Amino acid sequence: MSTSKHRMPFGAECQSDGSVCFRLWAPAADQVMLQLIDGDDEHDLRMNTAGDGWLELMTDKARPGMRYAFRVSGEHVDGQQTVPDPASRFQPADVHGPSEIIDPNDFRWPDGEPWRGRPWEEAVCYELHLGTFSPEGTFAGAIKRLDQLADLGVTAVELMPVAAFPGQRNWGYDGVLPFAPDARYGRPEDLKALVQAAHDRGLMILLDVIYNHFGPEGNYLHLYAPQFFNERHQTPWGAAINFDGPDSRAVRDFFIHNALYWLEEYRFDGLRLDAVHAIADDSEPDILTELAETVQDQLGHRRLVHLVLENDGNESRYLTRRPNGMPYWYQAQWNDDFHHAAHVLMTGEQDGYYADYTEEPARLLARCLAEGFAYQADPSPFRDGARRGEPSAGLPPSAFINLLQNHDQIGNRAFGERIASLAFPEAVRALSALMLLAPSPPLLFMGQEFMTETPFLFFCDFGADLADSVTQGRRREFQRFERFADPQAREAIPDPNDPATFQRCRLDWNALDSDARHREWWHFHQQLLRLRQREIVPRLAGMDPEQSRFEAFATNAFQVQWRLGDGAVLTLTANLSDTEHRWDALPLRLAGEALYLEPVGLGDALADRHLPPWAVAWHLASRQQLQESQPRHPQQAGVDGQHHEEAEP
């Protein structure tokens, strides 16, 4: 059996001699006492100053399993305030209670062939919320479904944030103690068991982390370390986390160590950094660059580690590749452009940011497939013409995670509707077939694989002083939408703090067993993912993104073509509308054999030079097939019998 421990310069660190070292950065505190809690007994020990705002204490009076807190006094505190450790490894009594001393070496990882991870080209991501994914809503409950995910064809499980949050239920983005798995889901050893169980099944497991803000309840840093925040930068949550002002070194180290901690101590295969566009940092290198380089330097030589971004700014520079194809910094980014364009095509919705995709949704979707982002320094109508994004055509498809649903896009709707409630099945099937076979890694949100009807609403459990303002603020967010202009209509929006709102979001796995429609959707996804694993994935490594191209030949019809890493050519032909399209000549040649056709009978339609509504055709030509089909003159014969100029990438 083996152990894993990340040594941190703060928190409670168990020593080899049995003592425990406590360290706290509290530059605004006049005095800090360590409170040790052993059952009904409490002991207060004075922390020693160690320079630059640090306090520390080494003591043999502490041991794993004991609880502890810090009693802080200073100019920002009225008298004395008892606070948890900001680097707590576990909070058994929620975020306001004492922390627990955890010795990471107490968890024994099984011996055997060490897990080295999986190449990113193999990624099929599955995002889940632990509290609603299983009936138990725990780490242990999630383990029971891993076999089913592996059988489906998932290769990478992505957990929504697990860092300790206030109350009994939360999406996780209101966490305030980023090193402590929330006690609602289980103990630290339970989360490690989940990671090991995923690896036992050949699954990567990634974790969502938040480095742009702390939640509104349970964050005590302002009392003893207001230097953690920089008033010069303002964010939707107030003063920004201080990554570039005076005293920012300790703050940067706090988050860099957090990333290393999850990757090393818990053996996660990667992290998704939430909403990094909301991180304010004018320094060089910025925190995103320094964090990624530190992870690569310390862990990259041991195993494959994948860092993923959510970045509304479409800053492609963070995804830059080395000459060998590996990333300098970040492996991939969630491609919101893909989602928004696909959503407009499926639903026709035009509110909010969907306004950027209403004029040419199919062309923008095709651009995403061929070049990464739809917005690459292009003016955004939703942003009053401001340019958004950076050029991305030089990046491989593996740098962009495509999705039709995620927690935000469902949960930020007033009633948490899934796509199955908003679009016709034909449209959802077509876009699913497109997403699951495209070279970019696809992402599914829990239950999407069987088209669950369970909503995913915004829910939380704040204290009385915050609960009502959060509920009313949630309802005010929707008053700009026509359907919620009436105050009575807004009152129907579910209360995020109501326990019933959370209960409605529990995934209904019984539907998969009892309803043939749901089973058909599950088998549909499984079929496509098996096809992806067999025919697409082995050809992805080494792709040259400069050889990808797209062509629109009707309002909502287009073709995309990729040269794969082994020299094969993959061609997508799609009609994403409810209108049939005919043509005299396709812009790109349909070389090779049909890999997948949706709907039934599409092969005959292609031969007759037309695409029925919601049609998706995938064709794959191996290098050998391409060589054998080379014409003896400059023109090439297309599938329709017409002649076209050279069209291969």
Q: Which two tokens stand for residue 185?
A: 């889901």
Q: Which two tokens stand for residue 281?
A: 């940092």
- 182 as an active site residue: the answer is no
Contact 401, 435 (CB under 8 A): no
Nearest one of 624, 623, 621, 622 to 638, comparing CA atoms: 621
Which residue do the tokens 């939408």 mark?
Answer: 481
Nearest one of 179, 273, 277, 272 to 235, comparing CA atoms: 277
3-state secondary structure 516-575: HHHHHHHHHHHHHHHHHHHHHHHHCCCCCHHHCEEEEEECCEEEEEEECCCCCEEEEEEE
> Taking the CA of residue 207 as centre, how many other CA atoms within 13 Å lie in the half-sphere pointing to its CB?
29
Radius of gyration in angstroms for the set of CA atoms belonging to the chain, rounded to a whole number: 26
Alpha-carbon span 200 to 195, nearest angstrom: 9
Select which of 85, 208, 274, 461 is catalytic.
274
Alpha-carbon span 468 to 462, nearest angstrom: 9
Contact 9, 256 (CB under 8 A): no
On the 0-12 / 13-18 / 19+ scale of CB atoms within 10 A, 440 is buried
How many separate helices (H) and strands (E) can be counted in the chain? 18, 32
Select which of 310, 315, 449, 461 is catalytic.
310
**Cis ω on the peptide bond leading into residue 396 (within 30° of 0)?**
no
Contact 392, 439 (CB under 8 A): no
Interhelix angle for 287-299 vs 248-264, to 10°? Answer: 40
Q: Which two tokens stand for residue 510?
A: 């019984």
- 468 as an active site residue: the answer is no
Contact 221, 228 (CB under 8 A): yes
Q: Is 205 helix (H, G, I), strand (E, B) or coil?
A: strand
Which residue do the tokens 């000549």 mark?
Answer: 585
| Strand-pair category, 593-598 with 615-621 | antiparallel
Residues in the chain: 649
Alpha-carbon span 126 to 203, nearest angstrom: 11
Q: Tell me the catalytic residues.
A: 274, 310
